[in-house]
Amino acid sequence: MEPAPLPLAGVVVVFLRSPDRSAAMAREVQQLGAEPFAMPLIDFEQVPGFGEVAEALVRLAEGGYQWVVFTSVTAVASVQQHALASGRELTAILGNGVHIAAVGNTTREYLAGASVAAHLVPELDQSAQGLLDGMPAGPGSVLLPQADIADAALAEGLAAAGWTVDRVTAYRTVDYPAAAGRRLVVPVPPDDGRASATIDLRQFRRLAGTDATVAVVVTSPSSALRFRGMLEKEASRDPGVAPLVIAIGPSTAAAAAGAGLRIDAVAALPTPAGIADAAVRAVTNRRTAPKNGVLP
């Protein structure tokens, strides 16, 4: 008896991230039979100079905050690099009795790699809302370093819980690629899987025009919005069957849906395994969907 085909056999999975930041997810779907590609649409730039971030770090080192809330690995990396630029280690700045909250296990692991322990990480709902649900009530001060285009919902939720929120722009989100001299480099651990090849819009259009099932993984609200904008520019073309769209979490799904994207699956957890499970659900639903009222 022949073995059953892998659940993602014949599926092309496109991650809207750089190859290094999508490597673990690419390996996961590859093990299920998919062919992964990276099509990065966004990149990150460090905020230059010693503005509000530097002032916040001085206050942080002096014990002026009870909590620091990190919403992503990028936010941690940005604060870490700002700290190093001022001649201090992140551990020294965060070692003054401040509590650390992280949205998700990936951010917690990155903090741990920098010898910083997170005191609060939502286990089930690894999102801003999950963090708000687990955060104690104020009073006190919270440092919230975010991207320039970050949604205000988390800051507003913290304020509603009695906290004084110091929301600072730690980095900027830009179209890929960022300027070489300003690019915020986010180190990622080495991965033992094959790095996914990088494709551009022309190559994506070619893939979408084949008989292969194409699934696109949107990993942030900003990448979802840029992908929607890319599709709008392509509206005059015939790209073949519309790609499946998989969101890494609820906030990304909400942003994508708000921009007019149809979401085929949302990962239960923002992890490589969670993404792979969502991809299998989306592909299975498409393959088993009735065609002209008749199941395949």
Phi-psi bin for 12: left (phi > 0), alpha (psi -120 to 50), beta? beta
In 3-state terms, what secondary structure has residue 286?
helix
CA distance 53 to 164: 17
Q: What percent of the chain has pLDDT over 70?
A: 91
CA angle at 248 for the pair 244 and 253, rounded to the nearest 5°: 70
Set out the domains of the chain in order of their start, with CATH numbers: 11-41+187-288 (3.40.50.10090), 44-175 (3.40.50.10090)
178 token code pair? 């960022």
Instruction: For residue 296, name the pLDDT band (cuts at 50, 70, 90).
Output: very low
Alpha helices for the chain (secondary structure H): 19-30, 52-61, 73-85, 90-93, 105-113, 128-134, 153-160, 201-208, 221-233, 250-258, 272-288
How many contiguous H segments (helices) and E segments (strands) does the chain have?
11, 11
Q: What pLDDT sits at residue 294?
A: 41
162-181 pLDDT, tens per residue?
999 999 999 999 999 999 88
The tokens 């460090």 sit on which residue? 46
